[in-house]
Structure 1
């Protein structure tokens, strides 16, 4: 019959053995020293003086003094003597002065691996998903300081991203996808992907449905603003002039474009019920284009193709400076300051300029 156990080398009671309690107590003391193992240090190579019973050390180097030749073993203090235990593969030991957990691999004491090949938390990890977590939520808490999550890639052409899935099929992916710019792409089936947004890493320019261009935001396709109230797009020049422009729908029946400055304001508006276009300046309507195409200047009720409520002034020309009658076309009017017979209006018949008074050439 063997005189010691296989794994921990605990002394075994023998048949007809005298003073069996001595052997049994030795086994119990060994268990007391080895189970839930916590050692004071692993940097001692010689026994410290004044050690109390029960104190344990992992002997450093090859050992000195009473520990000579015991390097790597466990030294346990008992009854003012040192007991030694040779570690076995798989033993764990907590090192008090380092606050570190060690593992004996069969040859040496090693730090418990800081990096695991794969890890599953309530889930099974695999070669593709080295870390797998299953549960309603995950929390990364910075405590009283900041916290960040980093996703790194080896080269610019690789991907560093976060993918959002439905039924383990990709629906959206955000990250550095094949370049060092930020990309957001989406998919209806996990196979075909559409590039939705790209942000240039150098200047922060954004492209929606396209690569970023020379301006802060470019959109490929239509865009829409909706609101149950007045919907506006506001453009602001933050320079000294402080000019603003608004494009929007002030109510359900009108659409408008506004420019506001420090001195004057201009507004153009389309009125849905009357199907008319209006141009405002200085707070008052100046021009109206009616639904039939009639244009009113100074009047909101034009009755002719051009209706001017007020005086009209045409540009003044010298005869030599008149544009080609053929180019401007028949019916064009001009004021000729040096026409034969005195300054007067002239009109083009399509080939030459004729005076309004007598119909002769200017």
Structure 2
């Protein structure tokens, strides 16, 4: 029969052994020294001057004094003497003065492995999902400083992204997906994917439903804005002039669509109360297209197809420079500075220019 256990070398009771309690107590003392192992230090090669019973150390170097030749072993103090134990692969020891957990690999003491092949936290990791976490939330905390989460890929054609799933079926993916541009893709079934947003890595240009173009934002398809109050798009010149323009549907004057650069310069594409199109300048309405198609310049109540409140001026032509009467059509007016009989208005009858004064050719 063996006189010691195989793993911890605990002394074993022998048949017909006298004073069995001594052997049993020695085994218990070894267990007390090795189980839930915590050593005071691993940096000393010489015994402390006044060690207390129960003190444990991992001996540094080759050891000196009473520890000579015991380097790397566990020194355990009991009843004023040192006992030494040879550690084996898999033993763990907490080092008090370093607040560090050590692992013995069969040759020496060292830190726990810096890398694990896979790790599951309340979940089962596998060859694809090397890290698996199951629970309501995960926290990455930078404490009082910064914190960043990095996802890296080997080459441009690879993917580095974060996928969002429903029932383990992909619905959205964000990252560098087959290129070095930032992309957002969505899917209805986890199989067919739609490119939703792309951000060009070189200039920050954004494409929605398409690749980014030469401007900051390009959209493939319609754009809709909804609001319970005013809906508008604001365009701001951030230069020294500081001007800005608005395109929208304000609720204060119920315009269906309007553009303005200031509160007094407004182009109303359709005004609900008047059912007209209006153009403002300098704080006053300058042009109106009424609901019946009448155009007023300088008047808000046009009564003819073109109603001008003020003088009307046409371009001045020499006879040789007049456009073709056929091309401009019958009824077109022009001022001819060298017409026969003196400068005067002329009109086109669809084939030639005639003087307005007497109806003769210019």
Same fold (TM over 0.5): yes
Structure 1 residue aligned with 2:43:
43
> C-alpha deviations, 1:185-226, integer Å up to 9, x for none?
100000001111111222221111111112111111100110
The residue number in structure 1 matching 2:27 is 27
Greater Cα shift, 264-273 or 194-203: 264-273
Cα distance in 2 for residues equivalent to 1:141 and 1:218: 37
Q: 1:36-70 deviations in whole A, cap 9, x for unaligned? A: 11123333344444433322222334444443443
Matching residue of 1:70: 70
* 1:108-257 matches, cutoff 5 A: 108-251=108-251, 253-257=254-258
In structure 2, C-alpha distance between the alignment counterparts of 1:289 and 1:336, rounded to whole Å: 30
| Contact 1:266–1:282 (Cα < 8 Å) also in 2 | no
Q: Partner of 2:250: helix, strand, or coil?
A: strand
Structure 2: how far apart are the matches of 1:144 and 1:61? 39
Contact 1:330 1:350 in 2 (8 A): yes
The DSSP-based 3-state class of the residue aligned with 1:201 is: coil
Give the Cα–Cα distance (whole angstroms) in 1 for the partners of residues 345 and 90 of structure 2.
Answer: 112
Encode CA deviations 1:4-57: one digit per residue, 9 max, x unaligned: 222211112233333333222222221221111112333334444443332222
Paired residues of 2:258 and 2:270 also in contact (CA < 8 A)? no
Q: Which runs of 5+ in 1 are unaligned?
A: none
Q: Distance in 2 between matches of 1:269 and 1:243?
A: 21
Distance 2:77 2:184 in 1: 64
Q: Could you tell me how far apart the structure 2 residues matched to 1:176 and 1:184 are?
A: 9
The 2-side partners of 1:58 and 1:236 are apart by 71
Equivalent pairs, count: 361
Larger mean CA deviation between 101-110 and 156-165 belongs to 101-110
Distance 1:85 1:112 in 2: 21
CA contact (8 A) 2:53 2:78 kept: yes
* Cα separation, 1, equivalents of 2:260 and 2:209: 30
- Residue by residue over 1:61-95, the C-alpha shift from the partner in whole angstroms, topping out at 9 and shown as x without a partner, is 44444434433321222333321111123211112
Look up the SS of the partner of 1:247 in the other structure: strand
Instruction: Describe the shift of the 1:275–1:261 C-alpha distance in structure 2 as closer, same or farther (beyond 3 A).
Output: closer
Deviates more, 1:300-309 or 1:252-261: 252-261
The corresponding residue for 2:354 is 354
Partner of 1:303: 303
Deviation at 1:260? 2.0
Contact 1:243-1:259 within 8 A present in 2 as well: no
- TM-score of the two chains, using structure 2 as the length reference: 0.91
Matched, 1:341 2:331: no
Is 2:255–2:268's contact at 8 Å kept on the other side of the alignment? no
**Counterparts of 1:317 and 1:253 in 2: how far apart (Å)?**
45
List gaps (5 residues or longer) in structure 2: none
Asked if structure 2 preserves the Cα contact closer than 8 Å seen for 1:199 and 1:212, the reply is: yes
Aligned to 1:315: 315
Secondary structure of the 1:31 match is helix
